[in-house]
Structure 1
Amino acid sequence: MISTDVLVLGAGAAGLMCAATAGYRGKNVIVVDMGKKPGRKILISGGGRCNFTNENASPENYLCQNPHFVKSALSRYTQFDFIDLVERHGMPFHHKTLGQLFCDNGAQDIVDILMTECEWAGVEVHLRSEVLHIEKSDSGYIVKTTDKSFQCQSLVVASGGLTMPKLGATPIGYKVAEQFGLEVLPTKAALVPFTLHEHDKQRFDGLSGISIPTTVSSEDGTSFKENILFTHRGLSGPAILQISSFWRAGQTVTIDLLPESAISDLIQQWRETQSQKSLKNLLSTVLPKRFVESLVNHKDITDKAINQLSKDDVAYLVQYLHHWQIKPNGTEGYRTAEVTLGGVNTDELSSKTFEAKKAKGLYFIGEVIDVTGHLGGYNFQFAWSSGVACGQAVS
C-alpha cells in the first residue's frame, strides 16, 4: 500500500494542474492515469495546436445548471495567469480571432509545461494504471488500480467526460460520484457536428468542404455568428459546434446565410445596376456558387432575372436566406465531440474548493462536472482554474 496526501485520478489538463498546485504547497501528490501518455486529449485538441485559453473567458461563456458556480474559480485563476505560466516557460503562441490562443509549435508544448511543473513540484505520475476499486477509510480513501493500492487523505477525480472513447474516455468519474451519493446530471455530446436526415444528405451531396459565414440560432434563442461547414455526414464548423450544446433532439436550427447584408437591400442594388442578370448568378457573388446551384437545382429558390422578381419572391428570399431551417437527425456523438455536457451536479460541490459536500476529502474538477464552456479555449481555462482552486484546497 502506497500512502500519499493527494491522489489525482486523471493526467489531463485539470488533473495535472491540480497536482502541480498541490505539490508546490508541500503535499505528497500522485497522479494515476490508464493511458500510455499524459494529456492525450490536450495533444489532439485544436488540430494538434491546442487552443489553450481565451482572452475573453468569463462566466458567461459556460453552461452549468448553476450559472454562478464557475465565478469563484475563474476569478481566482484567470486566463492571464495561465498566459503568464506559458510565457515563463518560453512557449511561443499566437492569437486567432475571437480571443483564442494557440501553440505555435504544437500541443505537446502544453503537456511538457504541465509535466515540468509536476516534476518541479515533486509529483509522481503513474501511467497505464486503471482504477478498479475505491473505498472510504478512516483517514481518507483507498484506491486499488491494476498494479498498486494507494491510501490517500484527499482524492481528486479529474477523469474527464465521455468524449473521444478511442483516447480511453470512461464513465469512471460519474461512477465514483454515484458511489458516494452525489447526483450526476444526464450527459450528452457537445461541441459536436450534426448529422442530417437522408433527404437533406442527398440535397447537400457534393457540397462537402464548403464553408459559409453565418449566424446560427437554436430554439431557445441562443445564437452564434461564425462559419458553418458542409461535411460528408452533415454540418460542422464553429457555429454548428457551438449551437450543438444548446440543441435538443427533434429541434430545428435556424441559420442566417447572409448575416452581414439584407437580401432585400442587395436585390434593390442589383435592380438598379444589373437588373437583367439572373438571381442565381448574382447570389453566387455573395454565397458559394455550388451552394446556390444546389438551392436552384432542388427548387428551394427559383432562378429568375432580377427585374422579374415579384414582391412575394423577395419576401420568400428574405425568409429563406435569413431564416434557413434545418432539422438535424442527431449528432456525431462522443466519437468526435470536444466535450461532454452534464456530469456531476455542481450543487454537490463547493465552488471554492471543489470538494464534495457529502464526502470529506473527495474532489471533482474539470470536464467530469456539469460545466461546459463555449468553443474557443474556454474548456481548457476551466480545467486550469478548477485545477488550481482544488490544488490550493486539498489536505
Structure 2
Amino acid sequence: MIVDSIVIGAGAAGLMCAITAGNRNLRPLVLEGGNQPGAKIIISGGGRCNFTNLDARPESFLSENPHFCKSALSRYTQHDFIDLVNRHGIAWHEKTLGQLFCDGSARQIVEMLLGECAAAGVRIETGTRITEVGHDGSHFRVSTDRGEVLGRSLVVATGGPSIPKMGATGFAYDIARQFGLRVVTPRPALVPLTLGGDDLALAAPLSGVSVEAVARLGPASFREKLLFTHRGLSGPAVLQISSYWRAGQAIDFDLAPDTDIAAFLKARKAERPRAEVKTVLAEVLPARLAQGLASDQPRPIGETGDKALTALAERINRWRPIPAGTEGFAKAEVTAGGVDTRDLSSRTLGAVKVPGLHFIGEAVDVTGWLGGYNFQWAWSSGHAAGEAV
C-alpha cells in the first residue's frame, strides 16, 4: 500500500494531523497499536476531557527552546479548537483558571475527531503492531504485522512513556535516534512528588488533607490545591511545580498564602493566651493540618515561646522540603523532554535533515502546564504537521 502520509499514533496530535492532511485532499493512513483511537482522550479530565485552556500561550510551556512552540500555537489557537467543538454541538464549560471541559463525556471529543477523519477520507487501522520503520530513498517504509506500507511522509505521534498502562512507550525516541535526531532526556512531568525523612513524617499522617497553597521553584509559581499523600505530595500545585523540579532541589510552599502566620500568631497570643496552638491555627488551616503542624506545641499559645511560634510560622509560610523523587512515569500525566527541537522546524515540526519526517505532540520536547495546555499543543502541532506533509 502506498499513501501520501503515514501517521503513527491515533491520539490527539495524530488525529488532528490526519484530519488537516485529509482536508488538503491527501490520503493519510493512521496506524494505532491500541484497540481504539483516542484512548488517552477518553480517560482525560476525569472522563470529561480538559480539551484546551483559554489562556494557552507560549509562556505556559516548558522546553529547552521556549520559543519553539510559538509558531504552531499562533497558527492553530485554542479559539480555533473551540470553534471546532462548537460546530459539533458539544457543550462545554470553564471549570477554573481557563480550563475547558466537556459538559458530557470525553468520548464526544473522540467522536468529533473520528467524524472529521471520516469526512476528510482518513483511514485508521487500530491494533497494528509496527515491526520496522525505514526509508528506501523515495518513501518511508513501515512494516507491520499486517503488511508493509509506503508513504511520502511519516508523522510520529506516539507520545512519551507516561501512563505505561495505556500502552505508552518511548517508541518515538527510537525512531528519532534511528534517523539521527537528538533526544532531550525524558522525565516524568505533572507528577506527584515523594518525600523522605522528617518531611515524610509530617506529610504521611496528613494523607488526604488538601489545602490551597503556593508552590515556588525559581521563577515558576503556582497557586492551587496541595494534597498530602502517604508517600508525599500531590494536587494541582504540586503537579505543576513538578515539571520544573530536578533532583536535589528544595521547593518553597506557602501553606497559608493569604495569612502572615507570624503576625497572626503574635496577635492571637495576646488575644487568646489560653487557646491551644492547634486551635488557633485551625482558624486559617484545615483542622487536621493545624493539628499536625502544631503537634510539637502542646502548651497554650500564651505559654509558647516566641522562637517556637516563629519557627512554626516559617514552616507554614515557607516550608522548604527537598523531594526524594517522583511517582515516576506510571503516575505522570505527561512526559517532559523528548525529540530535541534543535532538530525540528518550528513551523512544520519536520526533521531539518530528514525531509518528510515529522514529530508532533508529547513526543517533542514541549510540555504544557496542567489544565488543557498539553491538549492544545497536540492540536496545534498536529495541525502544523498536517499542513506540511
Q: TM-score, normalised by structure 1?
A: 0.95
Equivalent-residue separation in structure 2 for 1:54 and 1:129 (angstroms)? 33
Equivalent-residue separation in structure 1 for 2:52 and 2:196 (angstroms)? 35
Aligned to 1:281: 279
SS of 2:204's equivalent in the other structure is coil
CA shift for structure 1 position 327: 2.0
Aligned to 2:20: 21
CA shift for structure 1 position 21: 0.5
Question: Does the C-alpha gap of structure 1 residues 270 and 202 become closer, same or farther in structure 2, counting only changes over 3 Å?
Answer: closer
Question: Does the C-alpha gap of structure 1 residues 64 and 205 become closer, same or farther in structure 2, counting only changes over 3 Å?
Answer: closer
Per-residue deviation, residues 306-354 of structure 1 (Å, max 9, x unmatched)? 3344443343233221111222221111111011010000111111111
Contact 2:203–2:233 (CA<8 Å) still a contact in 1?
no
Equivalent-residue separation in structure 2 for 1:304 and 1:44 (angstroms)? 49
Per-residue deviation, residues 209-246 of structure 1 (Å, max 9, x unmatched)? 1101001122x342211111112332110011011111
Q: Which moved more, 1:129-138 or 1:30-39?
A: 129-138
CA shift for structure 1 position 380: 0.3
Equivalent-residue separation in structure 1 for 2:121 and 2:139 (angstroms)? 21
Contact 2:99–2:372 (CA<8 Å) still a contact in 1?
yes
Gaps of 5+ in 1: none
How is 1:200-215 mapped onto 2 (pairs within 5 angstroms)?
A: 200-215=199-214
SS of 1:139's equivalent in the other structure is coil
Equivalent-residue separation in structure 2 for 1:354 and 1:391 (angstroms)? 10
Per-residue deviation, residues 83-138 of structure 1 (Å, max 9, x unmatched)? 00001000111111110001111211111111111011000000011111111123
Equivalent-residue separation in structure 2 for 1:171 and 1:280 (angstroms)? 48
Q: Which moved more, 1:185-194 or 1:305-314?
A: 305-314
Match of 1:244 among 242, 245, 255: 242
Identical aligned pairs, as a percentage?
50
Equivalent pairs counted in the alignment come to 389
Contact 2:204–2:232 (CA<8 Å) still a contact in 1?
no
Q: Which amino acid aligns with 2:165?
A: K
Q: Which amino acid aligns with 1:205?
A: A
Equivalent-residue separation in structure 1 for 2:319 and 2:289 (angstroms)? 13
CA shift for structure 1 position 201: 3.7
Aligned to 1:337: 332
Equivalent-residue separation in structure 2 for 1:60 and 1:343 (angstroms)? 19
CA shift for structure 1 position 68: 0.8
CA shift for structure 1 position 154: 0.8
How is 1:27-42 mapped onto 2 (pairs within 5 angstroms)?
A: 27-42=26-41
Q: Which amino acid aligns with 2:361?
A: G
Q: Which amino acid aligns with 1:350?
A: S
Q: Which amino acid aligns with 1:231?
A: T
CA shift for structure 1 position 200: 4.0
Aligned to 1:101: 100
How is 1:82-97 mapped onto 2 (pairs within 5 angstroms)?
A: 82-97=81-96
SS of 1:98's equivalent in the other structure is coil
Match of 1:223 among 215, 221, 224: 221
Equivalent-residue separation in structure 2 for 1:203 and 1:170 (angstroms)? 35
Q: Which amino acid aligns with 2:268?
A: W
SS of 2:256's equivalent in the other structure is coil
How is 1:1-395 mapped onto 2 (pairs within 5 angstroms)?
A: 2-197=1-196, 200-218=199-217, 220-271=218-269, 273-297=271-295, 299=296, 302-394=297-389
Equivalent-residue separation in structure 1 for 2:69 and 2:246 (angstroms)? 24
Equivalent-residue separation in structure 1 for 2:148 and 2:306 (angstroms)? 76
Q: Which amino acid aligns with 1:293?
A: Q
Gaps of 5+ in 2: none
Q: Which amino acid aligns with 1:286?
A: V
Q: Which amino acid aligns with 1:380?
A: F
SS of 1:205's equivalent in the other structure is helix
CA shift for structure 1 position 172: 1.1
Equivalent-residue separation in structure 2 for 1:232 and 1:104 (angstroms)? 33
Cα-Cα RMSD: 1.5
Equivalent-residue separation in structure 1 for 2:197 and 2:299 (angstroms)? 29
Equivalent-residue separation in structure 1 for 2:346 and 2:231 (angstroms)? 40
